Amino acid sequence: MLANNYAEIIRGYMRDIANDNVKTINRIVILELGGGSGRFAYQLIRALLRLTDGLIPNSLPSFYYLMTDISKSIVNTWHNQPKLKQLIEKGILELAVLDVKSPQKAELVVSKKPLKTFINGNPVVVVANYVFSVYVDTFRVEDNKLHEIKVGVNVDDYLPELVGSKEVFRKIQFNQQQLPIILPYYKESIFNAILKEYKEELTASTFQFPVTTLRNLELLKKLSKGRLFLLISDMAESNINHLEGRDSLPMYLNGPFASYVNIDAFARWTNYKSGVVLIPTTPSRHFDTYAFVLGQGGECIETSLAFENCTGMCGSGARLASIRRASKQQEKPYTPCELIGLLHSSHLDLFLIKPLIGPLLTAAAIANRDERNALLAAIEKCWDNYYLLGANDDIDYDIGRVLMVLKEPEKALKFFFHSLENYGPHHSTLYRIGRCYEHLDDLINALSYHRRSLKQKHTTRAKKQVDRLIAALENESGDNHNALSKTIG
């Protein structure tokens, strides 16, 4: 859902650019830092294409999406990912190896262009989720004095035994050394002005300053001729009250250690640059979305409206979580129309299928023809939006079950075979494949899969049920039974 909300906000930004009527701007570059698996980029591109499809030609600038990561091996896997490959071939997606510490050294994989040439002076939208907590300087304000903090790590003798487990991060201890400093500390006057503000406004606190990130945003701002739009979703400290009173490093454990992003510093930097700061009305330290617009001029009305509409839905999947909670608290069964509405309200998020599998099966059984068609279309779009990444709790199997109830055995087979491929043979999957073949009047394959099902672990009751089913099918097959036995052994 975060990707869909980003798409809404970016479309608002594109509208503001179009409203400025700058004829030299016909496209924007969306630059994602730390692309990871590629799932977020895929979902964001699809959502943005859907939102801009069918608009009057040239009414909005087009976009290129540049997905980056520091790891060359990760970038190589993107190039071979089937769904990403389609976007590359359409000229929408470019890939690059990029370290946020030195973006000017980015290695573009497809076009082989330098980053400067690829951006070509067009506006840049920087998408940064969980990446801006690195390359920071740490300071402490106390007694109206500013100190730089040098951080070290204490490692116990037994720690190597824990390498490879999450426990290793729980056992690490940090040590801090405070060194008094005198302003100006940085070569950039704006950075020194922000440090001076913290020195004057904070009573006693340890905070981090994103110096490397801000320097590189300055670089991207230069490459984009001053037009830069920054979207951040992260664990963050967004105001002076969040920063006040910290006695240690602002860190949290999320698998490995990570630190809270000092959003307040980004906001102050943006204000010094005469930009626009967009922060949720009630920002959360847990996870939220923030936006910063530079070089646009005016109030960025469309961007601001889109941000205001979407930030209540961003966060840690708050809207999706609320839908899941509502489904558990629902006393009456959902009607087919209500379930179709729920799927669409989640932007057709496939991960809603699992918590709603019971209501979906019930609704599919009572749906009329129009409702079945609408439910089928929604489920198929959920799957189209899905970017397969490792385990998915066998959602493939659940979709197959719903499609069987919707009387779509041929389509259900596709998902059951996906389940077999990704999770291996299971008696329930093989049994349902056999049932699909029964509905398709393919008795040979039906018997084959029912017999394969018997070779898997079964409850006694289920085994007897399959035995009776096989016997009935053998009787039904009649003269074909001998040929069938030779075929499936």
Could you tell me what percent of the chain has a pLDDT over 70? 84
Q: What is the pLDDT of residues 82-113, one digit of tens each?
A: 889 999 999 999 999 998 888 888 989 999 99
Question: Are the C-beta atoms of residues 350 and 339 closer than 8 Å to each other?
Answer: no
Let me know whether 346 and 369 are in one domain. Answer: yes
Instruction: Kindly state the average pLDDT of the residues 53-78.
Output: 85
Question: How crowded is residue 363: how many other Cβ atoms within 10 Å of its Cβ?
Answer: 24
Could you tell me what percent of the chain has a pLDDT over 90? 52
Q: What backbone phi and psi angles, to 5 degrees, belong to 49?
A: -65, -40
Instruction: Kindly state the average pLDDT of the residues 252-256.
Output: 49
Q: What is the pLDDT of residue 71?
A: 92
Q: What is the pLDDT of residue 189?
A: 97
Let me know whether 115 and 82 are in one domain. Answer: yes
Q: Which helix (H) or strand (E) holds 453?
A: helix 443-454
Is the pLDDT at 480 greater than 60? The verdict is no
Q: What backbone phi and psi angles, to 5 degrees, belong to 354?
A: -60, -55
Q: What backbone phi and psi angles, to 5 degrees, belong to 186?
A: -105, 165
Report the CATH number that the domain containing residue 341 is assigned in CATH.
Answer: 1.25.40.10
The domain boundary, picked from 208, 226, 260, lies at 208
Q: What is the pLDDT of residue 248?
A: 72
Q: Please tell me the total count of domains within the chain.
A: 3
> What is the model's pTM?
0.76
Q: Which of 58-62, 79-83, 190-194 has the lowest mean pLDDT?
A: 58-62
Instruction: Kindly state the average pLDDT of the residues 55-73.
Output: 85
**CA end-to-end span of the chain, whole Å?**
49
Q: How far apart are alpha carbons 113 and 481 in whole angstroms? A: 65
Distance of CA 245 to the CA centre of its chain: 33
Q: How far apart are alpha carbons 98 and 80 in whole angstroms? A: 19
Q: What is the pLDDT of residues 136-163, one digit of tens each?
A: 999 999 999 999 998 777 766 555 655 5
Report the CATH number that the domain containing residue 244 is assigned in CATH.
Answer: 3.40.50.150
What is the pLDDT of the chain when averaged over all its residues?
84
Cα distances (Å, whole numbers) of residue 440 to 106, 161, 207, 410, 435:
54, 56, 65, 8, 9
Let me know whether 230 and 264 are in one domain. Answer: yes
Q: What is the pLDDT of residue 355?
A: 81
Q: What is the pLDDT of residues 295-341, one digit of tens each?
A: 987 779 999 999 998 876 544 445 545 555 555 566 678 888 988 88
Q: What is the pLDDT of residue 322?
A: 57
Containing domain of residue 174, as a range?
A: 137-208
Is the pLDDT at 482 greater than 50? The verdict is no
The domain boundary, picked from 190, 208, 226, lies at 208
Let me know whether 68 and 12 are in one domain. Answer: yes
Let me know whether 195 and 343 are in one domain. Answer: no
Q: What is the pLDDT of residue 56?
A: 52
The domain boundary, picked from 152, 175, 208, lies at 208
Question: Are the C-beta atoms of residues 231 and 127 closer than 8 Å to each other?
Answer: yes
Q: Which residue has the tokens 């290695």?
A: 107
Q: What is the pLDDT of residue 348?
A: 73
Let me know whether 185 and 146 are in one domain. Answer: yes
Instruction: Kindly state the average pLDDT of the residues 281-288.
Output: 72
Q: What is the pLDDT of residue 115?
A: 95
Q: How confident is the model at residue 134 (pLDDT cuts 50, 70, 90)?
A: confident
Half-sphere exposure of 445 (CA within 13 A, CB side): 13
Let me know whether 324 and 301 are in one domain. Answer: no
Distance of CA 208 to the CA centre of its chain: 26
Q: What is the pLDDT of residue 384?
A: 79
Let me know whether 116 and 204 are in one domain. Answer: no
Q: What is the pLDDT of residue 162?
A: 57
Q: How far apart are alpha carbons 277 and 121 in whole angstroms? A: 23
Q: Which of 36-50, 278-292, 387-401, 433-447 has the lowest mean pLDDT?
A: 387-401
Instruction: Kindly state the average pLDDT of the residues 387-404.
Output: 80
Instruction: Kindly state the average pLDDT of the residues 57-85.
Output: 89
Is the pLDDT at 489 greater than 50? The verdict is no
Q: What is the pLDDT of residue 256?
A: 47
Let me know whether 145 and 187 are in one domain. Answer: yes
Let me know whether 170 and 254 are in one domain. Answer: no
Q: How far apart are alpha carbons 152 and 162 in whole angstroms? A: 20
Let me know whether 393 and 295 are in one domain. Answer: no
Let me know whether 46 and 173 are in one domain. Answer: no
